[in-house]
Structure 1
């Protein structure tokens, strides 16, 4: 498929050997992405083969056949890898391939379905380790057939999901197979007690440490979020370069000041600053071309369309002769009622594998507002800022399925079948 791309050629020059590698800068993006996926699959398959070799060495007896005291020691000293990595590789190999010992005889693999997916190059070490962690948390009292079914579910999920989704699915499986959980150490556990402390810091500031219940935490986050948004860029200050934690620190200080001075606090439904985008009708509909953003200057039409999802935009649409065709109202923002419905449906960022909570998300129009898309639940989806930009600037597509839930269609270079994917992290148990 790739001819000689990626291969290393030996070239003789004046009696010496030089290494000539593929000049990847000559290749198009499609080739680079395909090569990236292919090389990852090859590495995963080779890792699975290496695991099979480790398991066979363990079956034959490491000490008797190699002189090393354990498989971990063998890997550490022969492969020159850290002890922690050697231990992880050994545990992974034995869990996927099984082993044999003198006391209990042949030990079948703990995760055969996971081993099969690994052998195909469909999953990597991080996904395997997450599956094994979930299986290890299940109690021994769970019937074998249920354990096997749980492992198959996780292995199949891992083919198109990352560790976070596997972890979330694992929590749901554990709650179903072991609903009572671990027995508490004390019969009468101590009731939860909130804590709050302020201590001076050596840099002149103060360190605040708190321990609160779920409701208080949710309320605090809802109050901080509208205050912690990045400042609009200005000619004097430029763009806001503060980190998320720095913005939240400033937001907390502002919240305290507001509490001291005003009884009414901002809510999660607080509105963003009004800004004006001037854009041609053709550019607005296509997303190609330039627009002018009030206070910022020129931006692309695609950026203006993306901003319209999470800021109160007043679009000034111009015709072919720069005449104003429509100075619209800020009607494309989701209402508080619609947002509550989206939070109930999506739980947080709906993009597959993302665990961003709802308070960090904006409502994105599936059919763009510029393309006559309506501001209603069936045409909106919650997306965090990262995946909001990805949807606007990549080949990923989002749509609302027949069951009313959002699903995402991956690019062809990632999945030739373009099988729709969903976020399973926010599923309600």
Structure 2
């Protein structure tokens, strides 16, 4: 993208900002211009960093000084420059504004997951060949495609990958500027699942009937607050009775999905997916299932055909019960609004027909939405409707209508 093109884009952005009556399409075009300008600047910054690295023994310090940022942030800028140097096609796409720096950073993160230099070089070569995919997809979609390439490079039964993950388990603590004590950890999937289940069990045991002082009212923040106190309880008191509950896994049985291909059997039947947020080798998954409660939920084309527990509470309570949350978790991996990637466990369950308007706490009237979209529905006149197979129709205040089909967990 030439300097003249950049100049035209800057002029268009300025013109739209100066026009108080600009139409939606004009503002959207200006936002595309801003994205292109930013991508062009990021590409040229990466080239300058590469040039700096040839004459500066500690380029990160210089980057931090010139950008007025931390050395940690400067290191990420340097890593992006290194990635672009190894992926010239992606570098050209960034300079043309066809992709964003986020796409490049996804490649950088992917390369760090590979321990072998030869695998890392092969991954960067494959990522460069996927520039077209990056140009036509979001950062999240491109990241998922990169995940597939990593899996191909690490093709094994999952045992070797789990070994690498166990080697990379880390925990760090620090005190921030507000004086708050912080903790951050990276755990292999097996350890992570056990920790998550213990925290969930402790949260339910400790706070089922009452909440501690200072607990926030926002649903998402409340869950974080209670989880923090549950973790503190487990550490300080060794867990006690709160840690003795058996973990629960939901087995999602999709009655419409074809069975996974098998060379040893020609039998047909529904597909079964264990609703856990991490990938595990089959042996590890079997060991976990043997020591946990496995609950089956049967779904078909957006409808729950079978799930244990009472799924229809009517007007007896405003809050969804565990059975309803479990059933909806089987249908949705994320917020129900199209394109939103907020994990289901961070969503609120919204009454499609509002509770204050006589809505019932029944499964077919509940929809998982993130806090941002929940606020839009309640405060910005977003209207949601559900079809018989949970087809979602979203009507916006300006008259736009967005339609999605039945929920698909693998689309998340």
TM range, normalised to the smaller chain?
Answer: 0.3 to 0.5
- Which protein is bigger by CA-based radius of gyration? 1
TM-score w.r.t. structure 2 length? 0.47
Q: Which has the higher contact order (CA 8 A, sep 6+)?
A: 1
TM-score normalised according to structure 1 size: 0.46
| Larger helix fraction of residues | 2
